[in-house]
Amino acid sequence: MGIWSEEVLPRATDVLLDSPACRRWRREVVKGLRGVVVELGFGSGLNMAWYPPEVTTVLAIEPSPVALRLARRRTAQCPIEVRHAGTDAQSLEIDSTSVDAVLSTFTMCTVPQPAAALHEVWRVLRPRGAFHFLEHGLAAEPDTARWQHRLTPLQRRIAGGCHLDRDIGALVRAAPFEECAVRREYLSGYSRLRPWTTLYVGAAGKGGPG
């Protein structure tokens, strides 16, 4: 806690995660979302510009008051209804099987127990609902992965609990989704920053009658 994590980090995140390379992937990951969407780690609302018109409501899960304040100008300009619906992805105060989709971008790195959060995602999704994600995580290349393991203790301290070395694909596959498609990508233009720019982009689906 303190000024760094409460005041500086949300503002830094607002700038750093709004690069052209990030925007490109945000546009990609929201495709196909519709209806009521839970967004985990809503942050400063950087996905609001890219949601398709079929999305009617966003239930924002976000613990940082500063990030939520930064988000206001984006939510005010957007026709989608946005409601702050909780502060912890690991324990959602949302009814089971009640939402059409869940979105998580650059959040699973920070949630203390990502497996618990993914179980919550599965719980709140309606049958045939979809979980879309865009996360950074463990690289496939052993050299980069070694650096990620080395750097993660420091990263956690300076970046609000962020882990560089989470295998997001394995975490999603271990959750109770019936379908999962995930691929590793890289943020273009940042080849020297591979420990921070290995991406997992994908979607997982809940089975059952739609």
Ligand X SMILES: C[S@@+](CC[C@H](N)C(=O)[O-])C[C@H]1O[C@@H](n2cnc3c(N)ncnc32)[C@H](O)[C@@H]1O
- Give the one residue of 88, 174, 185, 186 binding ligand X; rule: CB under 6 A: 88
| Cβ(59)–Cβ(39) below 8 Å | yes
Q: Is 132 exposed, middle or buried (0-12, 13-18, 19+ CB in 10 A)?
A: buried
Write the DSSP symbol of residue 47: T
d(CA 40, CA 101): 11
Q: Which residue in 37, 89, 201, 204 binds ligand X (CB under 6 A)?
A: 89
43, 129, 195, 205: residue in contact with ligand X (rule CB under 6 A): 43
Residue 125 binds to ligand X (criterion: CB under 6 A): no
Say whether residue 13 binds ligand X (CB under 6 A): yes
Check residue 171 for interaction with ligand X (CB under 6 A).
no
> Total residues at the site for ligand X (CB under 6 A)?
19
In angstroms, rounded to a whole number, what is the distance separating the alpha carbons of residues 141 and 157? Answer: 24
Query: In angstroms, what CA-CA distances link 56 with 23, 128, 160?
Result: 21, 18, 31
In the list 6, 63, 147, 173, the residue contacting ligand X (rule: CB under 6 A) is 63
Shortest distance in whole angstroms from residue 40 CB to ligand X: 5
Among 48, 59, 101, 111, binds ligand X (CB under 6 A): 111
Nearest distance in Å: CB 189, ligand X: 18
